Structure 1
């Protein structure tokens, strides 16, 4: 018997968890197929992905749970890495699970392929739950589809992308689900746990979490019946951070560090959580009194933080002016979105732009439904924060796209309803397809392909080097040399230690400022200066890959420097060439005196 529209609609509504799971499995299958070649060649493209697998290897090889120093950098002291072990767990678990069946190397390939896709399921489920509650019980497929159409965010869940950003986006989606939950206590609990997990992983989402926490407090100010949400949020935030600190904080982070969940942020979250519980318990009837109490509590928390931890009021990484000039100011993801060209800006901003329109429409549509209006306003405030931060740093792009999805889904749902009421079937079909292509950003993404970048010969050589140099094939001859400490580019350090037996001086991790500065000054300075650095670190090899992006900075800023001399064939007598195969993108020398 054929099923009618009502039956199908009922099935979509009741089986939403199963449908989300099926879509996720299908998406995973496609991503595995699409990235199969990269998975087989262990093409961990990002420096942080390479460092993450090195942290997992160190853990499985017996390094202490609370010791997160990477001893393959700047040996024997090691590089101080400010991450936590939380994100290591699924990778290590998958590797241990499959090692008896596939062997260690193949199990590691499975782990780096599967682990990044796990948080994508959390994001899909959380945003599906939010849109079901705020839009309609059967509107969630739009949100799930938009997850798969958000290019910048989706890139964080593709196989091999094992860094922590995918899990940070998952905690952000859970925060949205908590803000959307009509059951106050449950919503507060979800948002508090999500915030605690996010802070345990890292502080990247701190601005969004702060806005979400303020939104929960303001909801209580507006409506006294929101007290259970505020109390549950405060208790779970404080308790979650305390548990996370005990379980995951490294030895280094037990010091008052500003860039991780250290005593600095633990104390702040404990005080903020306790204040939230106290405010909810007091709960005066007058709205003005609640606002006054919330304002006083916020001011006291801010003043206490400023007086106790004044060093943490500025940039959390505490970079020196020299480090900023040599390195941080040149990191592309730390640049505003408008510095990346029109094509990149369009790809990043399309979905957030339609999200803004959608949030405005949802606020207007629900203006007489106070609970939904407040929920939409809470989520919109967090989304607007991410959009604004894009004009400071492009690294806010994935968060901006994830946070735009509820608003964009609301816009798509409204357009869908309007189009389906048209009399002409062709208009309905074409209109629905066109609306989704527009709102999702797929249409604008396609338009950007009509105006492809046309790099000149120099840019093509840089792109070629960036693609060739990190490959296993290119690094295999380097790996065959007797193990030693290598002076190479900062961005190449994590890849070098991951796929060769060699050690490196530095990687792009701000706590190791001295090593980064020494390496970058060595490449920019004279050969004699480089020799002093090489002697101080007891370097065995010098390795360059001409035309990699980092090297272009050295050539441009120091045309007579050590790197430029080596690249042009002017090699000092204290370096002996290491024979590499013809066609290798690398040039390598052994330090002989």
Structure 2
């Protein structure tokens, strides 16, 4: 086998031995910690977090520690008086609250919050490294594992997006769950135990969010195909996966869901529609296992799973109709178009490339290169001896294909990218290139650089020249919201604490910062369960005076906040004019002292007069 030959060759290398592997692990961890050290100061002194979701998560944890109920996941200071219903899980809040409670024994509450936000992603990254290293070394050898560890440490997706200091949302937990599921498919060992491990990880992933549901479904399909092909232990794995998933998902649902909402169907969190799927998966796995002795031919197994799969789809299809289009299907069409056409993560890879070729290239290129290397490895491996590499290739291709649906779907392949890179690159390094031997060092160095550092290539003059030759325009910035970095710091926004708690209408991405750094309420936040929050934070600032006035009338906001000299879509918008100090009669500037934040008090009588005359 090609992989076996590479493993034997790798044993002669320093990093192909146990000692070298531990050195690679230590180096990977140090590289990661060195990168994160650049963020530590801003996090500890200013509680600066990567994005809105992290800020909202810490606000939720703080409210939970202050007495908000386990089942009450409404953010009551957002979109008052009803509040903003969040589809997040308390299962993530719980360990964060525990860490914060522990640190508060030694430091103040604010520092305890900052330390929690710092240590949580570090712990998760260490866990991720341990799993990647252990699985890759057991299946492909220490040398491939060493390559994989280094890739995880230096790839921007991991250090800058999934595991940076302050990353306390749930996506890094989901990536680890996906990694465990896929690893349980390729790891040797007792089939039932591996399947149960995968099923429990899949259930946890569904409990904290549904972003990985496609990966979990494909994992079941992979196990089913292996069962049909009579892969050793696959039937046991499939049974363990189905039973653990079907049993653990309802239990986690009961733990985190208010009994009053048990009968409510939701498309964006673990609820009745998803539980129907997991229950069907359990039944499918049990029937498959019980039929193992009576159906012993590949053709028979294929017919059985095809009939069961078709029957399951027919039975479930009517009940899943409301959820087939995803969570944005619940939004008004005009708002859905606004989100899908302007938020980067919602664009297809093609549209993203036309709008911002640099971001699109950095997103897609690594998975494309690793997929090509893995495909080459699979092609050169003897039939029947390529199972693990094929599984990795399936999930890398999933992420690549998913990006052409929505850019955020690239996460489907991210979990195994370091492992796939380590396996493919190690095999390419140790294989005989024969007549192309002379080009091997240059080609592999180029592939490694483009895979691990795609952003440098995307920002290079060479890439710009390629765009010019292709007649493609440079990056076009089209965001539905802006945040002046000078206005997003805690020391700047803390000046708002000098006024009594009130409701503030602010640009979309400023809302969670106001919640975190002040005691005020907000009317704009980028969460799909409150579609009016999108409009309040975008059209109110990017439109006309009448647009903002109507939003103020509807929200009953006390104040409007903008950032000095910020441009909201164009220079003539009401938000841009407010940022330049051009204030209509129904708003009154509030003196906050020096700083870029402009706060304006709503004059209710003047506002009504303006609306009546408009």
Normalised by the length of structure 1, the TM-score is 0.87
Q: CA 1:469 to 1:14, structure 2 compared with 1: closer, same or farther past 3 Å?
A: same
> Could you say what secondary structure the match of 1:260 adopts?
coil
The question of 1:334 aligning with 2:346 is answered yes
Given the alignment of the two structures, is residue 153 of structure 1 paired with residue 150 of structure 2, yes or no? no
Cα 1:437–1:326 shift into 2, 3 Å: closer
Instruction: Show CA shifts across 1:445-464 (max 9, x none).
Output: 443443399x99x98xx999
1 CA distance for matches of 2:34 and 2:14?
27
Residue 198 of structure 2 is aligned to residue 191 of structure 1: yes
Residue by residue over 1:221-264, the C-alpha shift from the partner in whole angstroms, topping out at 9 and shown as x without a partner, is: 11164211111111111122122111223566751011110111
How many residues align structurally? 574
2:399 alignment partner in structure 1: 386
Does 2:478 align with 1:470?
no
Shift of 1:50: 0.6
2:377–2:427 CA contact under 8 A, matched in 1: no
Partner of residue 239 from structure 1, selected from 244, 247, 251: 247
Structure 1 residues 97 and 27: alpha-carbon distance in aligned structure 2, compared to 1, 3 A threshold:
farther
The answer to whether the aligner puts 1:414 opposite 2:414 as a matched pair is no
Instruction: Give SS of 1:256's match.
Output: coil
SS in 2 for 1:292: helix
Query: Does 2:18 correspond to 1:13?
Result: yes
Q: Tell me if structure 1 keeps the 8 A contact 2:524–2:534.
A: yes
Measured in 1, the distance between the counterparts of 2:397 and 2:12 equals 38
Whether the 8 Å CA contact 1:419–1:431 is kept in 2: the answer is no
Q: Which runs of 5+ in 1 are unaligned?
A: none
Indicate the SS of the match to 1:145.
helix
- Per the TM alignment, residue 431 of structure 1 is displaced from its structure 2 partner at its CA by 6.8
Conservation of the 8 A alpha-carbon contact between 1:86 and 1:201 = yes
Match of 2:457 in 1: 447
Aligned to 1:44: 49
Q: What are the superposed Cα offsets for residues 320-347 of structure 1, whole Å, 9 maximum, x if unpaired? A: 2021134443111111234253322332
TM-score (norm 2): 0.85
Displacement of 1:79: 0.1
Deviation at 1:158, TM superposition (A): 0.8
Structure 2: distance between partners of 1:133 and 1:374? 14
Among 223, 226, 229, the alignment partner of 2:230 is: 223
Q: Aligned partners of 1:199, 1:261: CA distance in 2, in Å?
A: 6
Q: Using the alignment, how far apart are the partners of 1:72 and 1:463 within structure 2?
A: 21
Question: 2: distance between equivalents of 1:439 and 1:570?
Answer: 48
Q: Does 165-174 or 322-331 show the bigger shift?
A: 322-331
What's 2:278 paired with?
A: 269
Q: Secondary structure at the match of 1:509?
A: coil
After TM superposition, list the pairs within 5 Å mapping 1:71-110 onto structure 2.
71-110=76-115
- Show the counterpart of 1:260: 269
Instruction: State the shift of 1:130 in Å.
Output: 3.2
1:482 partnered with 2:500: yes
> CA separation of 1:365/1:410 partners in 2, compared to 1, >3 Å: closer, same or farther?
farther
1:365-444 paired onto structure 2 within 5 Å: 365-368=380-383, 370=384, 372-418=385-431, 434=445, 437-438=448-449, 440-442=451-453, 444=454
How far the C-alpha of 1:309 sits from its partner, in A, is: 2.8
1:214 correspondence with 2:221: yes
| CA separation of 1:355 and 1:510: change in aligned 2, threshold 3 A | same
Cα distance change on mapping 1:404 and 1:539 into 2, 3 Å: same
Aligned-pair Cα RMSD in Å: 3.4
Confirm whether residue 293 of structure 1 aligns to residue 311 of structure 2. no
